Structures are given as structure tokens and as C-alpha cells.
Structure 1
Amino acid sequence: MKTQDTNLSIRPPRSPRVRLGGFVHLPRLIDKARAVSNDSAGDYVYGDGSLLDSEFFKLTGISSGEFLEEVSRGGGDWEVLQWVHENLSRPLAPFQIQSWSQWLETLPGLSLGARAWFAEYASNLTPAREDIGTLFEYLDIDDYVTFGGAA
């Protein structure tokens, strides 16, 4: 499959845990941008409407539009990573990227209302899943269940 052919209506993006250049979520963000660029994002949200995407854009100072434009050029992950480093609003040391990635990986969720929804969602899975406590855990299980897996 060519990178431009990413279709999120038939498979999920990569897990938010997968890192590229130390950035957690970046490979998933690339997958979503590729799908948006060819109008095959399915139910996935890209850009400022996505908590994880917006956190990446806040950290890097890159806009969702600029990122989408770069990914739409069709380069591979390495080219996108190089572009990200060239377009950071301020230099980031490896420890800063790692700290941000660790923080994002353990993010418990969203607003209080969204957390209540999240708790209800986890308890309604069959069997109930008390082990789902972070946004990454939710996304991993949601992607798996959406594409045919059993909770």
C-alpha cells in the first residue's frame, strides 16, 4: 500500500503508542493526515478537533493545515519527521520530546463530562474493562473493537 492510499474506513491508524523520532502519536497523526488528504478518514478526527493532534501541534508550533499540506506531498514517515524538525517553532531537546510523550501516554482522559462517558464506556464493554484508564488504552481498544476484535 502506498502511503497516499491510507484508508481508515478499512483499517485503523497506528496505535498512539507508536513513536517516531521520540514523538508518541506522530505515526497515528501521519496516518490520519494521509487519510484526510485522500478523503478516507472514516470516523477519525484530524487536527484541532482531536485532543492528541492538538497537543502535538501545541508542542511543535506547527499548524494542522501546514502538517496536512506536508503529508499530502506523499513523503514517507522519515521525510515527515525531518520536516517536523525543520518547522518547529522552537528547538526541542530529546528529553523534552520524551517527557512530553510520557505525559501524553498517561493522560487520563478529557473533560469531566468526557471522563464520565469514558468510565461508562469501559464498564459497558463485555466483559467490563476496569483496566482502561488512559486515553491511549481507550484508543487502542476502540480501534480493535471497531475493526472486528472482541473487547
Structure 2
Amino acid sequence: MTLGGYVHLARMIDKCRAVLAGTEGEYIYPCPLDKRLMEFAGVTAEQFTEAVTASRTDEEMIAWFQRTATPRPQSEVDQWNRALLLRGPSSTDSQKRFDAYRDAVDPSRTDLTSWADLQDLEEGRDVPCRQAANSDRETY
């Protein structure tokens, strides 16, 4: 799912709102995925948090994000979106954390290799079975 043309933007807005309200629970803002989106967009966590504080609706946040983000051709945004959805653990330590999170939710899902799929699984969304040796998965 995208919001304003970016995957992860809706989740990042919701997590920031939860942190501001003190209701984030186990969610982390800004997490590494949040930081990747902010870096790609050319905004800081401080700027984003200020915008969330000042915005009452998702539409206001979309407008702010599109005004503020580094302008990029849609093809580049689409490529970035795909890369984020395919991104998996990038180090041995990261793989260990990934495996521990996955095993806590469903240890049988050894087919999962991306953080996005793991988040979906953890939050109860349907995640199709993947081929364990899927060469399309990227780690960066």
C-alpha cells in the first residue's frame, strides 16, 4: 500500500502519531525503515515530527511530504518503493534479529526474507508463501 506515492509513509505517520500520543507500545519511531524513507525524501525526523504535530489529517501530511520531499521522477520513486519492499537483513546480526522476530510470530515461515513481509506477518496480514531462495530479494 502506498500513501502519497510512497510505501511505508502511512505506517511512519501512524507511528509518529503514536509516539506523540504516548501510545506507541512496541513500535519504534524513527526505526531503520523510517530513516530510509526520510533519507530518500531528504527530510529529517525532526522535520517529519513537526509536520505530524501540525497536521491533523493524512491528506495534510501527504501535501506536506510532497512539497518537502526531494523531487524525483515517478520511475525513481517506484524503484525505491520496490527496493524497500524487498529489503531483507543486511548483516549477520540483522539476520539474527529477523529470525528471532519471525520465529516469535511463526517459526514455520522460513520462506520470508524481507522486513516488509515480516511486518505484515507480525500484524496479522496475509503474506503469500515465498520461495526460500528467491533471487529477487535484496539486502541493502
Separation in structure 2 between the aligned mates of residue 126 and residue 72 of structure 1, nearest angstrom: 36
Runs of 4+ in 1 over 4 A off after TM superposition: 123-127
**Aligned partner (choices 47, 51, 54) of residue 73 of structure 1:** 54
Separation in structure 1 between the aligned mates of residue 93 and residue 55 of structure 2, nearest angstrom: 38
Percent of pairs identical after alignment? 28
Separation in structure 1 between the aligned mates of residue 54 and residue 105 of structure 2, nearest angstrom: 40
Amino acid at match of 1:102: R
Q: Deviations over 1:12-51 (max 9, x none)?
A: xxxxxx211220000000100111111111111102xx11
**Aligned partner (choices 14, 27, 30) of residue 44 of structure 1:** 27
Q: Is the 8 A contact 2:85 2:116 kept in 1?
A: yes
Q: Deviations over 1:48-80 (max 9, x none)?
A: xx1110001110111111111111123211211
Aligned length: 125
Q: 1:22 to 1:131 in 2, by over 3 A?
A: same
Structure 2, unmatched stretches of 5+, are 126-140
The equivalent residue for 1:31 is 14
Structure 1, unmatched stretches of 5+, are 1-17, 146-151
Q: 1:127 to 1:81 in 2, by over 3 A?
A: same
Separation in structure 2 between the aligned mates of residue 127 and residue 43 of structure 1, nearest angstrom: 20
The equivalent residue for 1:103 is 83
Question: Which gives a bigger RCO, structure 1 or 2 (Cα 8 Å, sep 6+)?
Answer: 1
Amino acid at match of 2:98: F
Q: Does 1:64 align with 2:20?
A: no
- Please tell me the root mean square deviation across aligned C-alpha atoms, in Å: 2.0
Q: Offset of 1:98 from its aligned partner? A: 0.8
Q: TM-score, normalised by structure 1?
A: 0.74
Separation in structure 2 between the aligned mates of residue 124 and residue 134 of structure 1, nearest angstrom: 16
Q: TM-score, normalised by structure 2?
A: 0.79
Q: 1:74 to 1:144 in 2, by over 3 A?
A: same
Q: Offset of 1:136 from its aligned partner? A: 0.7
Q: Does 1:139 align with 2:119?
A: yes
